[in-house]
């Protein structure tokens, strides 16, 4: 989430531009206290932890949908990892190591707002530890890198514990009574239009499935959003391409679609238009 704190006012947005401030009032209050008299624009991650201290992405989405009333049941922290503006000074073109130093100087962490710890030169060990703990993975960043909004930078590398990618939901096939859907119909934006890339099975993340179904119901449309309608035999519901999901993937077919896709988790933190064809090259 991107957070803007200025003269006591706090606004929080997803990377897709949705204002989520009202859903997380305790985070907004904590950000106001952490910034003090400073005006800042921050980049960070909203995190809900299990009893074992493991991040649970679906819990953040559930809390988002439930709103402020669920704050006691599902407390959320804000892990800040970058600062983009400080007291009116743009920092995007400053190297990462300098932005980190400015972040530590500007922000006063508290019980809800934390400044992310980072290790220099320990990437292999960090990845091994993340894998052992069952975490999603790690992000490695060149300490000299600039902040490039809306771009996939080769200086920031996400290493995950599975072959995963992020795709845009354009629809789903009817799932019946036992599960919300049989499969998700997924794509990527190319030249502003959504290209079909495959159908993902429901997987085992039943809680995420039901949350996703609730979110998708807000975006139902009568029109197929894909450039070419997928050839699926089951009854399909079409959706405005406004949500990103993470899927595990297997082989790639000659026509460019992916085989053996499995739904993994919701990605409300990702702008659907950032799920572009370049991200599939690997």
pLDDT higher than 60, residue 79: yes
pLDDT score of 234: 65
pLDDT score of 233: 58
DSSP the chain: -EEEEETTEEEEE-TT--B-GGG-HHHHHHHHHHHTT--EEEEEEEE-B-TTS-B-HHHHHHHHHH-GGGTTTS--EEEEEEEEEETTEE-TTS-HHHHHHHHHHH----SSEEEPP--SS-HHHHHHHHHHTT--EEEEE-TTPPP-TTS--TTEEEEESS-EEEEEEEEEEE-TTTSSEEEEEEEEEETTEEEEEEEEE--S-HHHHHHHHHHHGGGEESS--BSS----SS-EEEE-S--EEEEE---B-TTS-BSSEEEEEE-TTS-GGGSBGGGG--
The residue assigned the tokens 């006012």 is 9
pLDDT higher than 60, residue 130: yes
pLDDT higher than 80, residue 152: no
**Percent of the chain scored above 90 by pLDDT?**
42
Residue 278 pLDDT level (bands cut at 50, 70, 90)? very low
Identify the bridge partners of residue 167 per DSSP, sorted by sequence position.
245
Span 2-118: which CATH code?
3.30.470.30
Q: Of 77, 1, 75, which Cα lies nearest the Cα of 34?
A: 77
pLDDT higher than 80, residue 83: yes
The predicted-structure confidence for 243-265, as pLDDT tens digits, reads as follows: 999 888 866 776 778 877 888 88
Mean pLDDT on 166-173: 92
Q: Out of 173-187, 213-227, 228-242, which region has the weakest mean confidence (pLDDT)?
A: 173-187
The predicted-structure confidence for 2-48, as pLDDT tens digits, reads as follows: 999 998 899 999 887 889 999 999 999 999 999 999 999 999 999 98
Q: With contact defined as beta carbons under 8 Å apart, do 5 and 35 qualify?
A: yes
Residue 81 pLDDT level (bands cut at 50, 70, 90)? very high
pLDDT score of 180: 66
Domain with CATH 3.30.470.30 in the chain: 2-118
Residue 169 pLDDT level (bands cut at 50, 70, 90)? very high
More reliable by pLDDT, 271 or 122: 271
Identify the bridge partners of residue 140 per DSSP, sorted by sequence position.
157
pLDDT higher than 70, residue 1: yes
Architecture of the domain whose range is 164-280: Beta Barrel (2.40)
Residue 261 tokens, joined? 């896709």
Identify the bridge partners of residue 187 per DSSP, sorted by sequence position.
168, 196
More reliable by pLDDT, 282 or 185: 185
Residue 160 pLDDT level (bands cut at 50, 70, 90)? confident
pLDDT higher than 80, residue 58: no
pLDDT score of 277: 46
Mean pLDDT for the chain overall: 85
More reliable by pLDDT, 184 or 70: 184
Work out the number of other CB atoms within 10 angstroms of the CB of residue 31.
26
Q: Of 239, 249, 236, which Cα lies nearest the Cα of 201?
A: 249
Domain with CATH 2.40.50.140 in the chain: 164-280
Q: Where does residue 69 fall: left (phi above 0), alpha (psi -120 to 50 degrees), or beta otherwise?
A: alpha
Mean pLDDT on 90-110: 96
More reliable by pLDDT, 155 or 130: 155
Cα distances (angstroms) measured from residue 85 to each of 43, 103, 150, 255, 280: 10, 10, 16, 44, 32
More reliable by pLDDT, 38 or 56: 38
pLDDT score of 178: 63
User: Is this structure's pTM higher than 0.85?
Assistant: no
């Amino acid at each position: 989430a991107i957070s803007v704190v200025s003269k006591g006012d706090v606004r929080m947005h997803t990377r897709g531009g949705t204002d989520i401030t009202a859903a997380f009032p305790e985070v907004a209050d904590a950000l106001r206290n952490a910034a003090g008299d400073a005006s800042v624009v921050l980049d960070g991650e909203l995190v809900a932890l299990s009893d074992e201290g493991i991040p649970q992405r679906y819990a953040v989405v559930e809390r988002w949908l439930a709103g402020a009333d669920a704050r006691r049941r599902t407390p959320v922290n804000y892990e800040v990892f970058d600062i983009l503006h400080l007291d009116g000074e743009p920092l995007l073109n400053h190297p990462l190591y300098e932005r980190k130093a400015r972040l530590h100087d500007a922000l006063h962490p508290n019980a809800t707002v934390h400044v992310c710890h980072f290790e220099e030169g320990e990437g292999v060990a960090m990845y091994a530890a993340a894998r052992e703990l069952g975490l999603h993975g790690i992000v490695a960043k060149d300490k000299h890198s600039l902040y490039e909004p809306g771009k996939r930078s080769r200086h920031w590398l996400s290493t995950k514990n599975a072959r995963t990618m992020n795709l845009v939901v354009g629809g789903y096939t009817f799932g019946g009574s036992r599960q919300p859907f049989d499969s998700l119909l997924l794509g990527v934006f190319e030249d502003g239009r959504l290209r079909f890339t495959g159908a993902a099975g429901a997987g085992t993340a039943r809680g995420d499935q039901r949350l996703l179904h609730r979110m998708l119901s807000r975006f139902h449309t009568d029109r197929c959003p894909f450039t070419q309608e997928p050839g699926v035999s089951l009854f399909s519901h079409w959706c405005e391409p406004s949500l990103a999901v993470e899927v595990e993937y297997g082989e790639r077919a000659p026509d460019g679609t992916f085989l053996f896709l499995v739904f993994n988790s919701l990605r409300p933190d990702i702008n659907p238009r950032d799920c572009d064809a370049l991200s599939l090259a690997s």
